[in-house]
Amino acid sequence: MFDNKVIFEMLDELQIEYRLLEHEVAHTMADLPPIEEELGAKFFRNLFLHNRNKSQLWLLLIIGDKPFRTSEVSKTLGTSRLSFGSAELLEEKLGVQPGAVNPLSLIFDRDHELHLACDREILTHARVCMHPGWGGQSIVMKTTDLFDRILPHLGVTPTWIDITGEA
């Protein structure tokens, strides 16, 4: 099992208030509604993307099942067409498995190779859920704590984009 101790140490160091829930491993977005109900907040999708020659790596945060086109996101970010990164590349860069990657995973991006792009709609949610490194645990925290305290601590500045929701 993935050792997420360093994530919890960072949250404690920053005095981030969060609630942890242990549960059956969530493999897909379809597994999340009971967890969201228990924690009182929504998960967002965390998509690991790269450009054609893999010289730019991106983590895209988008609300739930909101549709999007990689071509739209690529154009907005000013990069060549993005595609989904492999599980092997994700594990190499962040040490996590697909389904468990999220902004907290950027603590493992020691060389700051990943760029973070976020759908602005995320800011309409007061609290967010995520898996702290693996799908058998979920945490909920204030959205402002994530974007105003944790990401600056990690040296990460998100690029905010407006995703239209049209596939």
Do 111 and 103 form a contact (C-beta atoms < 8 A)? no
pLDDT for res 97 = 83
pLDDT for res 99 = 80
Cα Rg of the chain (Å, integer): 15
- pLDDT exceeds 50 at position 1: no
Residue type, 99: G
Read off the pLDDT band of 167 (50, 70, 90). low
On whether the pTM is more than 0.85, the answer is: yes
Could you read off the pLDDT of 18-69 as tens digits, one per residue? Answer: 999 999 888 888 889 999 999 999 899 999 999 988 999 999 999 877 888 8
How far is residue 153's CA from residue 156's CA, in Å, rounded to a whole number?
8
Could you read off the pLDDT of 62-102 as tens digits, one per residue? Answer: 987 788 888 889 999 999 889 999 999 999 999 888 888 89
Question: Regarding predicted confidence, which is higher, 1 or 123?
Answer: 123
Domains and CATH numbers, the chain: 5-161 (3.90.960.10)
- Backbone dihedral region of 101: left (phi > 0), alpha (psi from -120 to 50 degrees) or beta? beta
Do 117 and 47 form a contact (C-beta atoms < 8 A)? no
